Structure 1
């Protein structure tokens, strides 16, 4: 996919003024100005990640009522079950709340649905089974805000329901005993981008304050809340919500505590991921090492094990679970490569990749646990929305997952335009899931592409790659990149700075690396400055780069590679093109 490059104009006057007003290094000041931060106060607010920057949990819509309802259930020893989503955000949020309620003396258990059997969100059959087992309160995590029928069933069964969620609201709210959501109608919480684990953390914080009878909690509660920040950080990064405002604080503090005092299960998970040998823990550590392993247990129908890993106090059990989940992740990678290959082949053989506004691809036996990841990979590759649907050989309703990728398309809104074709759907603007009868597939494909086309017609549909500044490779020394990393945590809403340079040659030919030759490694040379470059998921660039006879223009992100105590600067290649 070719993208339009746009270098943010260099405003020397504003950069100099920010340097004088803040004392920041020139490179950081230039990057902040490129992102619209022009004065010292705004820079301080952006760069600060102190815990005092978190808003009081009582301000989060629904928290006061939920705290009252749950607090009474704890006091009455009402059997409570935490009902979480099966993705990383849901698992970390569920573990966080379970640990907190256990600390507060609740009669609490947890249930995470099997995505292959129960599907996403609250499930009526599961609710009936939980009620039969004597559960009298359900607390949802990262799901439930559109579960109107399930809420009605809970009323019928005499089961209290507290919903904690952050997903897109439906037209009608469920009739629950309490709903905690940062964007509840009629409220004005100033930050609506908390993930499920972030919402759960705020509720847990409030419950601890209630139990302590004061804003200042007991020492055991304080240690629990600090360890919970590690879980909230993982859920926040994994759910790709914007790393600004409270999310930035949760992740920054969570990463610090992940290095200092992580829960037992995370210690073992970091070992199998090789992070115990890394001198640096950052958002990439979560996004590429911890979150995929936790997600693998959910994708392969064993999310309960992920929550158990994050809640166990047995060293032996934690080690065994971490090793097993690591093997699940290896299996997930193999399955994912197979589905990706089949989906790419279908896209090339049956559709017009270049001109179709979106791709809706379907195959029998494509594993439901990986179709979301495959949709994300292909939407990034092709620069347009992609929906991957797993057809059932027995004729049951098919399950699909979609991603908008770098395009400006709101995929949830596009699905809403096709609602008559679907059994159900849900999600948000960048990612969504759906269920559809196979007989409606072709009609849905046409309607969805039409809905995407309408969005394209009403907006700028060019996929733009925004570049913070032009910077030759000679500027990339350890001190400069360390200064850039004061802008961490990086992620959605605050991406790692993207730079460009021109007239670059190959010091050594590019070569493929990693499982399935998915990735690319190469050494660049610009005026005698040689540096290693890596492009994740871009192994298919290898032959093109090696065959290019002219000098190269690169778009890259500078990083510090910290391995076995040796630190060096390298670049993550974002895009490239011949200089001519």
Structure 2
């Protein structure tokens, strides 16, 4: 523990105590979030006037959780509230003009509140103002040079403001807004017991979104996840309870970030990826346990479908690269096909970026229209949003942040965009591709990887973006058994290793292509790995999560 803390820059007792003993009261007061007080005033005025309030959400897990948090909060206040989630496949990301017109026509007096979107919707906000539709924007994404003209904008990094923590996700911004509403409904500083209970539950959804949106797990985000994860299992609504059952996590006392990232989050995201995000919001807001079970089962089926589509696209993407070997020399990849599902390309872009160690854009082209929908993922220290901004002349529109972004592009612009995008990435690389670095916290023996040591290291969590599970290295490690491929499609690699009499299991997710190469190694290995506790059928054991390896030279 001491070695890891020192390796991560904690070099004083005070720093260590602040990190390990962080408290819920360390969260910044909600009224400090830029624009939040103005938004709160408008919301209470709308409730008092008995106007309809419509929450306009995004279709990913962050947007679904943000919508659910704010809907629950306003419902508790007796507001006339509903929600609108655009179809990923038909309407695309964020505010859109057709939806604004339809919402205005149905009820011109309504208050429209965006969550997890809207900060780049300059034209859409102008249309809302022209129609007389009152609009509040709450978002966390990167903004453009011009901000939308809305009645209020709530954003932790709003220009000209100095909120202490700028990395909140969309649901965390919505949670802050709900928190302030609850304070005002109480005595101005403390919520009523009923609203406080709601906030503790809502923190679970904010934690879920924080993990799935892959924002940095430090500062306020680490606090939200640390105290929100227990709420998911201790204070689940009917929908979350049904989802935990489908994920076979209902008996787990304390959920971990991996449970969210690999089990719960993908099922919520699957609904949005396949064009039915409203069902995910319904799951998280329903008061009917039977309906909750139906929806959880349906989301589970959609997730299985999503995985099949994902495997097919990944195979096709690799085949495209094989057909164009010169692309391997480029600093980035831009791939397109009319056969790809636009809701799944973001996940596959992440897999391709990881496989080739390059920023990657995948574009799903429509057979009917000449406009494609793209999704991109990047590698460490490369700003994807900045590269898209530098290539904007070839795009219909784009948005996102440093690590992930989306775009629309006309078919005849793809080749020119590829050249421009690669040039932008090359500029960030400053003429050279840096070797990919793997940060090692400490060198250990396999015998050091005990159950107690892993539980001690868990105090450094919750683990995630910018606060990864500690990574170790070990040398002179031997194979105890031949490598084995496992999982659906044999995507993963299972190993049994030993060193100085210590025998331990290891798994490498998505790395089954290492199997044959490792099997040919005649001598010892040097390995890098994280370590966790694997629980299967009630039995818990220490497991290595293999990150990289190399054969040691014979002495």
Report the CA distance between 1:48 and its aligned residue. 2.8
From 154, 161, 169, the counterpart of 1:195: 169
2:480 paired residue among 494, 507, 516: 507
Superposed counterparts of 1:54-453, under 5 Å: 54-134=27-107, 136-352=110-326, 354-406=328-380, 408-453=381-426
- Given that 2:342 and 2:373 are in contact with CA atoms closer than 8 Å, whether structure 1 keeps it comes out as yes
- Report the 3-state secondary structure (helix = DSSP H, G, I; strand = E; otherwise coil) of the residue aligned with 1:509: coil
2: CA distance, partners of 1:191 / 1:94: 22
| Counterpart-to-counterpart distance in 2, 1:33 and 1:571 | 22
- Secondary structure, counterpart of 1:69 in structure 2: helix
The answer for the alignment partner of 2:442 in structure 1 is 469
Which of 41, 46, 59 aligns to 2:19? It is: 46
Deviations 1:237-284 (Å, cap 9, x if unpaired)?
Answer: 001011111101100111111221222211110111111244541100
Query: Structure 2 CA distance, aligned partners of 1:47 and 1:134?
Result: 50
Give the match for residue 466 of structure 2.
Answer: 493
Give the match for residue 12 of structure 1.
none
1:540, CA displacement in angstroms? 1.2
**Is the deviation greater in 534-543 or in 227-236?**
534-543
Give the whole-Å Cα distance in 1 for the aligned partners of 2:363 and 2:289. Answer: 40
Change in Cα spacing, 1:459 to 1:238, as seen in structure 2 (3 Å) is farther
1:377, 1:112 → 2: CA distance? Answer: 27
Find the aligned partners of 2:22 and 2:264 in 1 and give their Cα distance.
22
The change in CA–CA distance for 1:279 and 1:99 in structure 2 (over 3 A counts) is closer
1:516 aligns with 2:489: yes
Q: Distance in 1 between matches of 2:206 and 2:237?
A: 12
Q: Of the two structures, which has the highest relative contact order with CA contacts closer than 8 Å and spacing of 6 or more?
A: 1
Match runs of 1:543-562 below 5 Å: 543-562=516-535
CA distance in 2, matches of 1:370, 1:528: 45
Give the structure 2 partner of residue 23 of structure 1.
Answer: none
Cα distance in 1 for residues equivalent to 2:250 and 2:187: 39
* 1:538 paired residue number: 511
SS at match of 2:497: strand
The whole-number CA distance in structure 1 between the counterparts of 2:254 and 2:202 is 20
Aligned to 2:501: 528
Counterparts of 2:115 and 2:439, CA distance in 1: 35
Q: How many residues align?
A: 552
Change (3 A) 1:444 1:460: closer
Matched with 2:8 is: 35
Hey, what's the Cα distance between the residues in 2 that align with 1:51 and 1:281? Answer: 18
Equivalent residues of 2:65, 2:281 under 8 A apart: yes
Q: How much has 1:460 moved relative to structure 2?
A: 7.0
Aligned counterparts of 1:71 and 1:458: Cα–Cα separation in 2: 54
Q: Alpha-carbon deviation of 1:213?
A: 3.4
User: How many angstroms does 1:142 deviate by?
Assistant: 0.5
**Which deviates more, 516-525 or 332-341?**
516-525
Q: Give the drift of 1:455.
A: 1.0
Report deviation, 1:341. Answer: 0.4
CA drift of 1:354 comes to 4.0
Tell me by how many angstroms 1:111 deviates.
0.8
Q: Deviations over 1:459-500 (max 9, x none)?
A: 873321111011110111111111111111000011000001
Provide runs of 4+ in structure 1 moved above 3 Å: 277-280, 351-354
Name the Cα RMSD after superposition: 1.2
- Hey, what's the Cα distance between the residues in 2 that align with 1:121 and 1:45? 38
SS in 2 for 1:226: helix
1:236, 1:247 within 8 Å by CA — same for their partners in 2?
A: yes
* Per-residue deviation, 1:296: 0.3
Is the 1:511–1:520 contact (alpha carbons within 8 Å) kept by the matching residues of 2?
yes
Task: State the Cα distance separating 1:30 from its structure 2 match.
Answer: 1.2
CA distance in 1 between partners of 2:251 and 2:504 (Å): 23
Q: What are the ranges of 5 or more consecutive residues in structure 1 without an aligned counterpart?
A: 1-27
Q: 2:539 aligns with which of 547, 557, 566?
A: 566
Normalising by structure 2, we get a TM-score of 0.98
Residues 243 and 296, structure 2, Cα contact 8 Å, conserved in 1: yes
The answer to whether the 8 Å contact 1:277/1:564 transfers is no
Separation (CA, whole Å) in 2 of partners of 1:71 and 1:47: 38
SS in 1 for 2:483: strand
* SS at structure 2 position matched to 1:465: coil
More divergent stretch after superposition (227-236 vs 462-471): 462-471
Secondary structure of the structure 1 residue equivalent to 2:250: helix
C-alpha contact (below 8 Å) 1:375/1:388 kept by paired residues = yes
Deviation at 1:538, TM superposition (A): 1.1
